[in-house]
Amino acid sequence: MRDLHTFASTLNQVQQREGRELPSRPGTERFFDGLLSLLFPHFAESERYGSVEEVTAAVVAAERHLSRLLVPLEPLMKRSAADVATTFIHDLPDVYQMLREDAAAIHEGDPAAESIDEVIAAYPGFYAIAAYRIGHCFYQLGVPVFPRIITEYAHRRTGVDIHPGAHIGRSFFIDHATGIVIGETTHIGHTVKLYQGVTLGALSIDKEMQSTKRHPTIEDRVIIYANATILGGETVIGHDSIIGGNAWITSSIAPYSTVYNRAEVKVRSVRDSAEGTFEQ
């Protein structure tokens, strides 16, 4: 009992001291889900809004909810929670337009996609991009922690890990989604396509490099196929290039390049395996 009392005392100190300058994680996730259902009725759990007045009221309610969520972060921000919330709502039309373009890019690039509605409602890549776009907006407004909670929420649900600090251009296409990693200082141009398992990462994880560009630059209209790994802050993949699956790249690639990993495949028949020989 004495040990339990000591442990309880320790936990009480933690409860009083830690996490006070953090937004509610469940509240942040509910805010994101609510905002997504406001932007796209595909995610709504109840009836759609029936008038401009109802939509306007929902936007005002979202701004108030956001302001309350951000209050604990005010000691860490240069602006008030209310000011950040107002600015975010002001910027929301631009975020919405980019997401529409992302959905269109996925629809145009995937022969299996029957409609943009299907992309929005069912594609994990679009969901991950939506979390990134919204999180990145808060990142640019200087809001700590909050944008990371949003993108990590999508990470858990989709397997796509996009840091909100990354810069990603318009008409972004993620296919199959799972296993994609995009680091904080990554720069991605317009009309870029990524397939599953792609990593855009750093060559070093030294903490002293925190304020430097550690992740690659991907220029416009680049296609990166499954499980390719591109590392390093000085690595630039030139525009209109194609990076094949399983490629490992740590240096820059000129525009209009095609990079592929040549795999050696040996075929052995059941009959020859008994004799220890191979057919190539």
Give the residue extent of every domain in the chain.
Answer: 20-159, 179-273
Average pLDDT over residues 122-129: 97
Sign of torsion over alpha carbons 107, 108, 113, 116: positive
Mean pLDDT of the chain: 91
pLDDT in tens, 127-181: 999 999 999 999 999 999 999 999 999 999 999 999 999 999 999 999 999 999 9
Helices (H) and strands (E) in the chain, counts: 8, 14
Residues shown for the chain: 280
Q: Spell out the residues 6+ positions from residue 267 whose beta carbon is closer than 8 angstroms to its own.
A: 278, 279, 280
pLDDT band at 272 (very low <50, low <70, confident <90, very high): low
pLDDT in tens, 9-29: 888 888 777 666 788 899 999
pLDDT band at 99 (very low <50, low <70, confident <90, very high): very high
pLDDT at 92: 97
CA–CA gap between residue 265 and residue 280 (Å, rounded)? 8
Position of tokens 């993949």? 237
pLDDT at 265: 75
pLDDT at 195: 97
Least confident of 94-98, 137-141, 195-199, 264-268: 264-268
- How many angstroms separate the Cα of 190 from the Cα of each of 80, 81, 151, 174, 227? 33, 32, 21, 13, 21
253: which DSSP letter?
B
> Is the pLDDT assigned to residue 280 strictly greater than 60?
no
CATH number listed for the domain at residues 20-159? 1.10.3130.10
pLDDT at 278: 44
pTM: 0.88
Q: Which residue, among 249, 224, 97, 135, has the nearest Cα to 173 in the 3D structure?
A: 224
Average pLDDT over residues 199-210: 79
Average pLDDT over residues 68-78: 94
pLDDT at 22: 82
SS3 state at 195 = coil
Q: Spell out the residues 6+ positions from residue 53 whose beta carbon is closer than 8 angstroms to its own.
A: none
Helix ranges restricted to H, 71-171:
81-109, 116-122, 124-140, 146-158
pLDDT band at 4 (very low <50, low <70, confident <90, very high): confident
SS3 state at 194 = strand
Q: Which residue, among 35, 17, 38, has the nearest Cα to 27 in the 3D structure?
A: 35
pLDDT at 269: 74
Average pLDDT over residues 238-259: 97
Average pLDDT over residues 241-256: 97
> Is the pLDDT assigned to residue 125 strictly greater than 80?
yes
User: For the domain with range 179-273, which CATH number is right: 3.10.310.10, 3.40.640.10, 2.160.10.10, 1.20.58.220?
Assistant: 2.160.10.10
CA–CA gap between residue 249 and residue 218 (Å, rounded)? 12
- How many angstroms separate the Cα of 129 from the Cα of each of 94, 123, 132, 162? 14, 10, 5, 8
